[in-house]
Amino acid sequence: MVVLFFISMFVARTMCHTITQLDVPRWADPRIDAELRCQYMRQPDDPALHSVKWYRGKHEIFRYTFQEFETRSFNSTGVSVINSSCDPLLCAIMVRPEPGTASYTCEVSSEGPRFAVDRRSANMTLAVLPEYEPLITGLPTIVQAGEQAFVNCTSDYSLPPARIDWFVDGEIQEDPIITGNTHVSGADGDGLQASWRTLHVYPDDYSTHRGFLSLECRATLPTRPPNIRSMAVRLFVASRPHISSYMLSKNSAVSRSTVHQLHSCLSIWTMLLLVTREVPLLVK
């Protein structure tokens, strides 16, 4: 058996074109025609390319015959090939995606006597885009210095569920203390799922705020190109009343950091505040 397997590998390798890459988007954007690409390679001893065929499920939808420089589309399944571009190394077609999941197969055959074929398949599913922009909830009117805020971002039902990313002042937040995982709801009747992710903001951790932080939530669907929807809000931060700009700048040099460092900053601060309060008494 093993020997047979190796012999068949050897024959396949030497007698026909081999597909080196099949590129079918896993998720298709319903508003954009999807491009499917099949790349193949010919070894020096291989016979010439005979044809490249594309199938949707079991139905042939497209054929490129190399010797005749001919391309043909087949319209039996109602899926139309909009456009194509094929040569001895690559055959790309554009299709209008259909609802649901379909398996697309690229099949490359070499000239006789064997007309050996190589084929590969991949599934493509039509994505269902969210109808609404992501929604940020739980935003406080203002946070006092030293306080924290929890905000929540929810993305509308979609297929697949959106991945949510949080940005503070344009910087992606990945620290698990600041933002947890993207949570995904159960599927609705059509198989769509909503997702949400919380952001735990410690305004003192960000050196640059001028009375507010800009919070942005981005919901991404992995279509090609990705479908991105976003919502941005301002989180207003009360300024500290008793602290000189010298100490603020000193603190911001230290901050940009973990929560533990933040807490130690806060306690140093508290001590310094106490000391400055005591000073007038001592002077008296």
Ligand X SMILES: *[C@@H]1O[C@H](CO)[C@@H](O)[C@H](O)[C@H]1NC(C)=O
**Binding residues for ligand X, per CB under 6 A?**
35, 73, 75, 78, 80, 83-85, 92, 94, 103, 121-123, 138, 152, 154, 196, 198
106/265 with CB nearer ligand X: 106
Residue 281 Cβ, how far from ligand X at the closest point, in Å? Answer: 46
Q: Which is nearer to ligand X, 232 or 254 (CB)?
A: 232
CA distance 97 to 81: 10
Who contacts 195 (Cβ-Cβ below 8 Å, separation ≥6)? 154, 155, 161, 162, 163, 164, 182, 183, 184, 185, 219
Q: Which residue is nearest to ligand X (CB)?
A: 85
- Number of CB atoms found within 10 A of residue 207's CB: 15
Name which of 134 and 203 has its Cβ closer to ligand X: 134
Q: Which is nearer to ligand X, 67 or 103 (CB)?
A: 103
**CB of 144: closest distance to ligand X in angstroms?**
21
**CA pseudo-torsion sign 57, 58, 60, 65:** positive
- Give how far Cα 126 sits from Cα of 34, 87, 100, Å: 10, 28, 6
Give least dist CB 65 to ligand X, A: 17
Q: Tell me the β-bridge partners of 221.
A: 227
Contact indicator for 84, 93 with CB cutoff of 8 Å = yes
Shortest spacing between CB 228 and ligand X, in angstroms: 20
Is the Cβ of residue 199 or residue 221 nearer to ligand X in the bound state?
A: 199
| Number of neighbouring beta carbons within 10 Å of residue 193 | 17
User: CB 212 → ligand X: shortest distance, Å?
Assistant: 22
